Amino acid sequence: MPLSVKHLLGINELTVQDIEQIFKTADNFKLVLNRPIKKVPTLRDTAIANIFFENSTRTRISFELAEKRLGAETINFSASGSSVSKGETLIDTVNNILAMKVDMVVMRHSASGAPWFLSQHIDACIINAGDGINQHPTQALLDAFSIREKLGSVKGKRVAIIGDIMHSRVALSNIYCLLKLGAEVMVAGPPTLIPKHIASLGVFVEYNIKKALEWCDVANILRIQLERMQKPLFSTLREYSLYYGISKDLLDSLSKKIIIMHPGPINRGVELFSDAADSKQSIILNQVENGVAIRMAVIYLLSGKREINEPI
Amino acid sequence: MIKTLFDSKKLNLTLHRLAHQLIENHVGFNNTVIIGIQPRGIYLSDRIVKLVKEIIGNKPIEYGKIDITFYRDDYHNNNIHIPSDTDIPFSIEDKTVILIDDVLYTGRTIRSAMDALIDFGRPKKVELLTLIDRRFNRELPIEPDYVGLTVDTIQTQKVIVYWQEKDGKDEVAMIEKS
């Protein structure tokens, strides 16, 4: 059964069945990743371009590894050092890459909606690897997959998303994904970093970090994104970490053991202290491991939709 | 049009014969493992393993299952297949592997299974056991070592193996598509 979508642009376009199918396929890829030979030849006839207009470590390596382990050919493109700095437009850049017979594009862009815009203009399958402050669908899928792996299911679980909600594409995709799967979601952080009408998505809003942690089963802690802030939204990083930083002491003061997640990169000592990030409650590195399996599943399921070339 | 090739009684006889043939060639099953091909081959391999164990006296046999979804060569033309689990909890290095599938048709599934198998190690030898061999429809040079029944079919015909534990009856039927 293929996915109901041709591209993966955002979580809100996926059905619950789509997400469950991605998880089930990822389970199988996880088995492949734990074998001596961590590679299958499924996509040996597929070429995939990773087009990154914004910096990335984890997502980019994770996508590239996922593609290689599916047997696909990959090319990497980053905006710095390319003709983008000479003034080439997005469509021109991508069309030139596609003219070299690429079947799929994995794209990250600093402008929200850039992958959606591109999908209106080109035929290739597009996977959004993060666009501005809009969405980061594969991250949300791997977060939910990690919760499912750790707690057995996502349904009925309480997940608090903590920190810089306003500038976070991870937050928005996570909210859509978790609500679809039947979890209860809370966002928490300083009022200046929480968008005004976010409760209309069906999430709880909390400004007190201790109360949020007492409420939840899982805390997904987000990075403070100074680079996206146009104006100061809190006084200093030190003040933020005093009121909203999560330490082992804070976790130990709770009535139950909650699970700590972080999409990375961590600002150690700001939103999350080292003793909490490296504690047994943290599944941060499991998230990274699951990221490859989830991306393999998404690429596998989407590339099946490719139209085959006319026979010569 | 449906034609019954095996009823449950005849199927049972054939399974016993196949089990005895395996034991004849692999005395003691000391360096031999059995691997069933997902999803439909495992019903046959479950039965065969059970029978072999009964005959040789419940000695443990290394038995695994392999899924070939990611090794198929028709990925882009067909609908996406849902993968099943691969479970090979032992080394196949330098062992004799008996691959088991219900129907041998074009040979492409077996080709995929051999590719998948070799990702787990280098077996000493690979043999193929199949319940039904549709011998005139081969697209690759693959032949079975143990056969339940050889049938001559054309492409518009279909052979389906029903299993009690999955379909509620033991039967092999040939269906003519109209």
Q: Go through the domains of chain B in sequence order and give each one's CATH number.
A: 2-74+81-176 (3.40.50.2020)
Same domain, yes or no, for A142 and A279?
yes
Q: Is residue A311 assigned to a domain?
A: no
ipTM of the complex: 0.72
Question: Is residue A306 pLDDT above 80, yes or no?
Answer: no
Contact A49, A97 (CB under 8 A): yes
Distance, CA of A209 to CA of A202 (rounded, Å):
19
How long a stretch of residues is chain A? 312
Q: How many Cα atoms are found within 13 Å in the side-chain-facing hemisphere of B115?
A: 16
Q: Is residue A3 assigned to a domain?
A: no
Shortest distance between the Cα of A302 and any Cα of chain B, in A, equals: 10
Q: Partners of A50 in the beta sheet?
A: A76, A106
Entry pTM? 0.86
Cβ within 8 Å, pair A37-B85? no
Same domain, yes or no, for A142 and A263?
yes
Shortest distance between the Cα of A2 and any Cα of chain B, in A, equals: 6
Same domain, yes or no, for A144 and A66?
no
- Position A309 scores a pLDDT of 42
Q: What does the CA dihedral B113, B117, B123, B127 come to, rounded to 10 degrees?
A: -20
Q: What is the mean pLDDT of residues A282-306?
A: 90
Q: Is residue A4 assigned to a domain?
A: no
Same domain, yes or no, for A222 and A239?
yes
| Nearest of A92, A91, A70, A85 to residue A25 by alpha carbon | A70
Question: Is residue A311 pLDDT above 80, yes or no?
Answer: no
Contact B134, B159 (CB under 8 A): yes
Cβ within 8 Å, pair B86-A300? no
Distance, CA of A245 to CA of A275 (rounded, Å):
12
Cβ within 8 Å, pair B82-A1? yes
Same domain, yes or no, for A112 and A148?
no
Q: What is the pLDDT of residues B28-44, one digit of tens each?
A: 888 999 999 988 899 99
Q: Which of A16-20, A58-62, A285-289, A304-308 has the lowest mean pLDDT?
A: A304-308
Q: Tell me how many domains chain A contains.
A: 2
Same domain, yes or no, for A19 and A97?
yes
Range of the domain at A165: 137-288
CB pairs under 8 A between A and B: 53
Same domain, yes or no, for A127 and A17?
yes
Q: Residue A274 corresponds to which tokens in the numbers above?
A: 């080292």
Q: For chain A, report the end-to-end CA distance as a whole number of angstroms.
A: 29
Q: Which of A221-225, A226-230, A305-309 has the lowest mean pLDDT?
A: A305-309
CA quadruple B106, B109, B112, B113: dihedral sign: negative
Cβ within 8 Å, pair A28-B86? yes
Shortest distance between the Cα of A1 and any Cα of chain B, in A, equals: 6
Q: Is residue A2 assigned to a domain?
A: no
Mutation for B interface: A40, A43, A45, most B CBs within 10 A: A40
**Residue partners of A116: CB distance under 8 A and separation at least 6:** A9, A10, A131
SS3 content of chain B, % helix, strand, coil (to 5): 35, 30, 35
Same domain, yes or no, for A144 and A278?
yes
Q: Is residue A206 assigned to a domain?
A: yes
Distance, CA of B121 to CA of B63 (rounded, Å):
15
Question: Which of A39, A43, A301 is opposite residue B80, by nearest beta carbon?
Answer: A301
Question: Which of B77, B80, B85 is opposite residue A2, by nearest beta carbon?
Answer: B80
Task: Name which residue leads in pLDDT, A144 or A306.
Answer: A144
Q: Is residue A171 assigned to a domain?
A: yes
CB atoms within 10 A of CB B176: 12
Same domain, yes or no, for A281 and A296?
no
Task: For residue B39, say if its preceding peptide bond is cis, omega within 30 degrees of 0.
Answer: yes
- Beta strands of A117-182 (E only): which ranges? 125-131, 158-162
Q: What is the DSSP letter of B29?
A: G
Q: What is the CATH number of the domain that holds A226?
A: 3.40.50.1370
CA quadruple A108, A113, A118, A119: dihedral sign: positive
Same domain, yes or no, for A86 and A127?
yes
Q: Using 70 as the pLDDT threshold, list the residues of chain B that sit under it.
A: 76-80, 178
Round the CA-based radius of gyration of chain A to a whole number and report it: 20
Cβ within 8 Å, pair A42-B77? no
| Nearest of B41, B45, B21, B44 to residue B33 by alpha carbon | B45
Distance, CA of A88 to CA of A59 (rounded, Å):
25
Distance, CA of A80 to CA of A61 (rounded, Å):
17
Q: What is the pLDDT of residues A250-286, one digit of tens each?
A: 999 999 999 999 998 999 999 999 999 999 999 999 9
Task: For residue A265, say if its preceding peptide bond is cis, omega within 30 degrees of 0.
Answer: yes
Q: Is residue A106 assigned to a domain?
A: yes
Cα-to-chain-centroid distance, residue A28: 20
Cβ within 8 Å, pair A40-B119? yes
Q: Is residue A152 assigned to a domain?
A: yes
Same domain, yes or no, for A54 and A121?
yes
Same domain, yes or no, for A103 and A145?
no
